[in-house]
Amino acid sequence: MKNLCETSRVVCTGVGVVTGLGIGIEHFWNNIINGYTSIDKITKFDITGMSCGIGSEIKKSDFNPSDYYTNKKDVNRNDDCTHYAVAATRLALDDAKLNLEKLDKDKTGTIIGSGIGGLSFLEKEMKTMYEKGHKRITPYLIPAMIANTPSGYVSIENNIRGISLGMLSACATSGNTIGEAYRYIKYKEYDVMICGGTEASITPISFAGFNSLKALCTGYNDNPKKGCRPFDLKRSGFVMGEGSGILILESYEHAIKRNAPIYGEIISYSSECDAYHITAPEPNGKGLTNSIHKALKNANININDVKYINAHGTSTNLNDKIETKVFKNVFKDHAYKLYISSTKSMTGHCIGAAGAIESIVCLKTMQTNIIPPTINYEYKDPDCDLNYTPNKYIHAKENIDISLNTNLGFGGHNTALLFKKIVK
């Protein structure tokens, strides 16, 4: 009889990144550690009169979705949201040196989330309906817009027959997808999981909505590269990004058996809800505090063992000071010894893809011992007084062997993921 308490260690063997800051892990990581930013004026649509008209776009000149599809006809049938996921998955599978022909497709699953789904495709078809009538709407509208299509399509594209889930928890989405994929492997239901997030929310209606919500940064339309400034006193809101981050997770045994490259180990995951407000975090960050405490407890990790945090760090007034408060509450005096950074200062906020992209940063940080910077940190905020690695990367002298990624999302969702350096 199978031991129900038996668990597997879970490792990451491949990563794929598609962002405005870089496509492919090497290009992306080089730009991250050098403090480059892809944030600029929006070119995809007219931003006249919008309070915020800046973001981190993936340029058409840099990304051709047909390079990644098996059936080229599917390019026009899908939204960018799915394009980015398909591309990042292909990059991640290649990075993991995973031979799909030798893979047990029934012991492999897919969990890819999106905070918003195929919004651009929907907007295009709405325009068609208003101008030409409802009978001219494409039959591909519904599958192109629903948020589970990226996960479903990746499974179809790669003939992955295990579980296929599309998850949605706003900006915490891919923290949840990675965490749930981790659990499926830990408890031995699957050997391999493709997981992460994708987003293509730089669209007119999205910008109109977030501007109306007063969530986006203001005052930087003429100086866009300075617009995203997490933890800085003059921060004024988040800057939208887009793209996808995909991780290939495997059981340690499966990875070792095929001599796979290993970025690091996931050692714990926790997720809770503030149950406070649909858009604002609970003033003391109780949900995230509880999530981090549980993640540490489940991994049997002391607070002093954590060396690096890739913070949610959105550049909004509320998030950054509350997240700082959470770190102080959890880590006590050690909070001031932590290396912390918000790489959203360079990528923008990729919503449902943020947690995956930033988890990849955690893994690369441990692999290289290089702490990426938080750029545009120029004016100290007394409420945000920790070490956010301002403006320039640090090559840490000590071993960065345990890192934490935090994510928060509208609806009160939050996640904590703990990663550990691993030596085969």
Q: Which residues are catalytic?
A: 171
Q: Dmax over Cα atoms in the chain, in whole Å? A: 67
Q: Could you give the strand order of the β-sheet that contains 54-56, starting from the edge strand earlier in sequence?
A: 40-41, 54-56, 240-241
If one counts every other C-beta atom within 10 angstroms of the C-beta of residue 72, the result is 10
Pairing of strands 339-341, 308-310: parallel
Dihedrals phi, psi of 299, to nearest 5 degrees: -90, -5
Residue 341: beta bridge partners? 310
Rounded Cα distance between 191 and 251, Å, is 6
Please tell me whether residue 229 adopts helix, strand or coil conformation.
Answer: coil
Positions of E strands within 242-353: 243-251, 264-273, 308-310, 339-341
User: Measured between alpha carbons, how far apart are the two ends of the chain, in Å?
Assistant: 30
17: which strand partners?
245
How far apart are the C-alpha atoms of 406 and 177, rounded to whole Å? 13
User: CA distances (Å), 10 to each of 7, 94, 149, 246, 418, in order?
Assistant: 9, 19, 26, 15, 12
